[in-house]
Structure 1
Amino acid sequence: MWRAVRIGLTAPGEPIRLARLMLRMFPAEPEKMGLLALMLLQHSRQGARFDETGAPILLEDQDRSLWNRTMIAEALAMIDKAMLHHQPGPYQIQAAIAALHARAGKPEETDWEGMDQLYEALERRAPSPVVTLNRAVAIWKLKGAQAALDMITPLSEALDGYFYFHGVRGTFLRQLERGEEACDAFRAAIALAGTAAEAAHIRRQLDQLGNG
């Protein structure tokens, strides 16, 4: 599954340490709880994100036994504590979205309805094309590729230079058996890839269509 927003945590040390420090300074601030929970949840998957060649592994294909359950447990407790303040903000919502993935033992157990509702709430509080792109993945799971494609089509101009937009769009088009358009989208994604591993991942999808 595509996930368009990533938190750039390559090591847990400094960013998480600073988030903990901020929370100690403002212990009753729910958004700081949400930020720490989000960082913990994102980093908890670090050991499962790449294969032995360095190629990225999509979230739904990751070995969930490699996820750091200690980090996940701390993050879930932090989210529960933040929610008691009844002051939802963008970090808390993003952490709640990540928590739905963390709570699912298998990809098919993911609460996509809850995911859609949370992304809708995030769109209201912190609207952006990238948030809508992420929500479209939930719509894809709930309503199919055409509904998801319809959602992201208006984002074409705003996200034309965004690697993940073209990758997600190609995935939807591929599922709709619109092979030529999917190939064009994947080629655009390759051109915008930030790393060789990202480009190789899209290249494999393009090759599978037989039109590389």
Structure 2
Amino acid sequence: MTDILMTGPYPAWDMEDLEAKYQVHKLWEAADKDALLAGKADAIRAIATRGELGASAALMARLPKLEIVSCYGVGTDAIDLGHARANGIRVTNTPDVLTEDVADIGIGLLLSVARNIPQADAYVRNGSWTKANMQLVTRVCGKKLGIVGMGRVGAAVAKRASAFDCAISYYDINRRGDLPYAYVGDLVDLARDSEFLIVTLAGGESTKDIINASVLE
């Protein structure tokens, strides 16, 4: 069986499948991680990781037979792609597995904020509805929606927001000619002209502090 190193657990159904097909070495369970790596370095051919755990250059360098890093998720920010590329190590992820789900959550959060859904739920549960009416809030339908980052998730959010008759604009490093939404090349201008702003960017140094005081003001 091929030896693989796991940096953290997967859901039970996937763990069962992996353990049936591979010799799985569980780094997170090892009492002495250095000893595990030293003892299995020449056998391990793959790293199975998660987006938030990644795989550092130091970890990959300790595995001379390493051929692939498989990421259980979309983000590869925590994987040292430069080291992998320089050493011929393949890196895979699952780019479309959660796109629709994340977009659903984005719209759900938008509705929750606009309509005060969590507050309304608490208002009913604690009996406040018998004493006074809740304050009126705003609708989502027909509002101007700005999307920061028009990648897979951003496009999926825009598709859903279109059903609410929102006027959709977006900011990205590139204009997308395959989408009908209005492109705004300045993030501050987008924020100024939007009634709601949804951010669908990957994390990391390249997007750190992109939503700054100028955008929020």
TM above 0.5, yes or no, is no
Greater fraction of residues in helix:
1
Higher relative contact order (CA 8 A, sep 6+): 1
Greater fraction of residues in strand:
2
Question: Rg bigger for which structure?
Answer: 2
Normalising by the residue count of structure 1, what TM-score does the alignment of the two structures yield? 0.30
